[in-house]
Amino acid sequence: MNHIAVAWLARLRLLFADPGAHRAWALAANDGIIATAGILEGFAGAGADDATLALAGMAAMVSGMFTAGGAKWAETASEREAQLSLIEEERLEIKRQPDVEFDELLDYYKQKGLPADLAREVAAQLMKRSPLKAQLESEHGIISVVSRRDIVQASLGTAISYAIGASIPLLVTIMVPIHVDTGLVLAAVAVSLVLTSILAARAGRQDLNRTLLRTLVIAAGTVGASYLVGKFAF
C-alpha cells in the first residue's frame, strides 16, 4: 500500500471518528427523509398512482442531494475564502506593526487569566515561533484552515447522507402497494428520524428528548402540510 493510500485511510478514520461530521451527516439525512416524505405525501394526497409517486420520489431525492451537497460546498468554500483573507491581513499586520500585534497577543493571554510575566513570556515565545498562527487563533479563533479536500469531503458527505435519508420513504413507496403506502411511509419516516436524531444528539452532546421532539414536530408539520396541499389543491 503506497503512502497516498495510507494517508487517505488515516484521514478517513479521523473523519468517521469526528462527532461534528456525524452530526452533520445525521442532519443531512433528516433533511432527506423529511423533504422526500413531504413530497411523496403531497402527491399521495393528490391521488397520484404508484408510477407517479416513484418518479416524484426519485426526482426529489436527486435534486435534493445535489442541492444539499452544493449548498455545503458553497458554505465550506466561503469559509475557506474568509480564512485565507484573514490570513493575508494578519500576515501584513505582523510585517507592518509587530509590536502592536505582540501587545494584542499579550492582552489576550492576560484576559485568559495568566499573570503578566507569564503572559508576556508566552506571547513572546509564540510570536517567535509562529506569529501568524498565534494571531489567527487569538483574534479569530482559527486553529486550522479549511482545505480544498475538506470542501470536497463535506459536500460529498452531505449529498450522500441526504440521499440515504431520502431513499427510505422512496423505497417504501416503490415496494409497497399504494393503498397501504401512507401508513408505512410515515412509520419508516418516524423510525429513521428517531435513529438519526439519536446520532445527532450524541454527536452534538445535546438533549436527546429535545432533539427528537424538535425533529418529529418539524417532520409532522412538513408531511402534514404537504398532504393537505395535495389533497385540497387538486
**Which pLDDT score is estimated for 187?**
82
Q: Residues 150, 101: contact at Cβ < 8 Å?
A: no
Mean pLDDT of the 8-22 span: 59
Which of 84-98, 189-203, 220-234 is most confident? Answer: 84-98
For residue 9, pLDDT over 70 is answered with: no
Q: Residue 196 has which C-alpha cell?
A: 438519526
pLDDT recorded at residue 62? 95
In terms of C-beta density within 10 A (0-12 exposed, 13-18 middle, 19 or more buried), how is residue 75 classed?
middle
Instruction: Identify the pLDDT of residue 223.
Output: 87
Residue 14: φ, ψ to 5°? -65, -40
Q: What is the pLDDT of residue 2?
A: 58
Overall average pLDDT of the 157-167 stretch: 94
CA distance 56 to 186: 17
Q: pLDDT tier at 11 (50, 70, 90 boundaries)?
A: low
What is the full DSSP assignment across 169-224? HHHHHHHS-GGGHHHHHHHHHHHHHHHHHHHHHHHHT--HHHHHHHHHHHHHHHHH
Mean pLDDT of 69-74: 96
Q: Report the chain's terminal Cα–Cα distance, integer Å.
A: 60
Average pLDDT, the chain: 85
pLDDT at 234: 61
Rounded Cα distance, 117 and 123, in Å: 10
**Entry pTM:** 0.80
pLDDT at 82: 94
Question: Tens of pLDDT along 175-213?
Answer: 876 655 677 778 888 888 888 888 877 776 778 888 888
Structure confidence by residue, pLDDT tens digits, 98-129: 898 988 898 998 988 888 899 899 889 988 88
Is the pLDDT confidence value at 13 over 60? no
